Structure 1
Amino acid sequence: MNARRVGFAVLSSCAGLFVAGVLSASVVQAASVRSSQCPVSQLSLGFDDEGGAFNGMSQSGTLLVLRNIGRTPCRVRALPRLHFEDADGRAVDAVRRAPPGMHPGPVLSSVQVMPGVALTARLHWVSGDVYDGHHCISPATAVIDLPGGTLRQSFGRHMCAPAGSARFFDQAPLRPDTAPPAP
Structure 2
Amino acid sequence: MGKKRFRKFGIILTGSAVEKMEEARDFVLEVQLPELRKKIANETDPDKVTEMEKSKKDLLRFVLRQNQMINYSEIILPTTVKFFEAHSPYYALIKAKTKRLARLNYIAYVADDDGTLRDEIKEVSRDYALARYSRVVGEDNKQPSIKEVLENFQLDENSVLIIDPLLV
Same topology, TM > 0.5:
no
- Greater fraction strand: 1
TM-score under structure 2 length normalisation: 0.24
- Greater fraction helix: 2
Larger Rg: 2
Structure having greater relative contact order (Cα 8 Å, sep ≥ 6): 1
